[in-house]
Structures are given as structure tokens and as C-alpha cells.
Amino acid sequence: MTQHTTLPRLPVYFISHGGGPWPWMRAETGGAYDKLAAALADMPRQVGRTPQAILMISAHWEEDVFTVQGSAQPGMVYDYGGFPEHTYHVHYRSAGSPALAQRVLDLLGAAGLPAGLDASRGYDHGMFSPMRAIYPEAQVPVVQLSLKRGLEPAAHLALGRALAPLRDEDVLIIGSGLTYHNLRAFGPQARAPSKLFDDWLLQTVVQAPPPARTQGLLDWAAAPAARLCHPREEHLIPLMVAVGAAEAEPASRVYHEDAFMGGPAVSNFRLG
């Protein structure tokens, strides 16, 4: 990767990526995703320039060690079920970046974090659904980076710290998950617990000083309604990576809905 020392440091995002291949389902979903789509589409304006590349940490990829996508032209992983047939033929045509993949491996190696390369891994919907809204022309190369099995918050905060230099190299880091992910309780019954947890996230990520933010995320499972909102935390853990990459910097909430799809409160955050 080419280093751009004269450019301002890029922010970092944690985004709620929605359900399945929603950008290709407007006929089925109506306007249910309009607010999320608008928030994602506004990110290029917020960033202020087109980055050289994007590093995406998606909730939908876990490996035994942090693993980076190495293909120059990744394919598609249709990692969902029960959606219309046409959604199993959608394509998001961004290029990969073997150079960025190697840079990520170098940074993780320097930080003492074991890492691997997967030359055949394609894009999953935690990447291609939000990216269709952020950069519909797919003009920015995107590389995915896996979570590490076990989903320890400390390991993923450390991952973010290791990746932080990319922000000075014109690489936009995006953690892609959901602030609420209990698919067995996604309707109106999600409103009360998700509001408790979403209020805690706002207080912890945006309002608390950085050391308290880090400690709060390490202890996230003690937050109000935490396990009701995340019976399994893979959709929350990308937030840890985002915070680690901007650990001492202020955060803002850049998207929020009280009743997403008629159910939970959900939010997106920007750091730096």
C-alpha cells in the first residue's frame, strides 16, 4: 500500500449491516431499509474523500486465527437462506487488494497476532449488502478480515490497535455487524431490551471517556439486556475492532432507529 502522509487520518466505522441481501429486495421490503440505506450512502460525504481501499471486518466470517482475504477479484458467498432466488445471483464487483492483504498480515505480525491468508474467500453479505449502499459503483477495492473464533473482546480490541496505522495510509476500516442480533426475538418484543442495550452503547461508546469505553466493551456482557440482544456476540465484536483502531479518539452515533423493521433499536458509530 502507498502511504499518504499528507492526507488527514481517516475515521473508523461500525455499521449495522441489515438482514441478508436487502439492497436487492426493495420490492419485498418496501421502505423498511430507507433510513439505514441513507445513513450508509452518506458515509462517503462524511469521510470527505474516496479512500484508496476499504478493510471490512464482517460478523459473518470467523477463523481460528485472524484471516485476511487475498484474492484480487473475490467472488460471492451467499451466506443466507430463505430469500428470493434472484438474491443468490447478485454481484458486488469491487476489486480485492493483495497489497492491502499483505500489509494487514505485516501489521498483525508486528503486533504478535497470529494471522493467515485465504486466497479463495469471497465477499459475504456483511460486506456486500452495506457496500452496495455505501459505494454502489463498487469503485473502491475492498478486503475482508475475519473475526477470531472465541470472540474475545480483548483480542479484537488488540486487532483494531494493530490495524490503526492503515488510517494514515488512506484505508477506511469498517466493522460490520448489528447492535442487536437475536433472530428469535426480532419483532416488537425486541424493543424494550434493545433500547436498554442501545442506550448503554451510546453512553459507553460516545459519552464515556476512552479508558472507560474500552473497559465497558471488555465487560459488555454485564450491560443491560446484553445477552438478550446478543445470545452470541459475533455481530457485536466488529465494534471492538473499530474502537481499537481509534481507541483514544471521540466517537459519534451516525445512525439510529428505535424500531428497525418494526423491532429493535439499532445504531451505527463513527470514531475519529
For 75-91, the pLDDT digits (tens) are 999 999 999 999 999 99
Please write the tens of the pLDDT for every residue from 212-264. Answer: 999 999 999 999 999 999 999 999 999 999 999 999 999 999 999 999 988 99
Q: Is the pLDDT of residue 158 over 70?
A: yes
Q: Is the pLDDT of residue 183 over 80?
A: no
**Distances in Å between the alpha carbon of 47 and those of 101, 172, 173, 175?**
22, 9, 11, 15
Q: Averaged over 167-192, what is the pLDDT? A: 92
Please write the tens of the pLDDT for every residue from 36-59. Answer: 999 999 999 999 999 999 999 999
Please write the tens of the pLDDT for every residue from 83-120. Answer: 999 999 999 999 999 999 999 999 999 999 999 999 99
Distance CA 71, CA 75 (A): 9
For the chain, state the CA radius of gyration.
17
Q: Is the pLDDT of residue 4 over 90?
A: no
pLDDT value of position 240: 98
The secondary structure of residue 39, as a DSSP letter, is H
Please write the tens of the pLDDT for every residue from 10-35. Answer: 999 999 999 999 999 999 999 999 99
Distance CA 200, CA 15 (A): 17
Q: Which CATH number fits domain 12-271: 2.60.120.10, 3.90.280.10, 3.40.830.10, 1.20.1600.10?
A: 3.40.830.10
pLDDT value of position 1: 59
What is the reported pTM? 0.96
Distance CA 181, CA 230 (A): 5
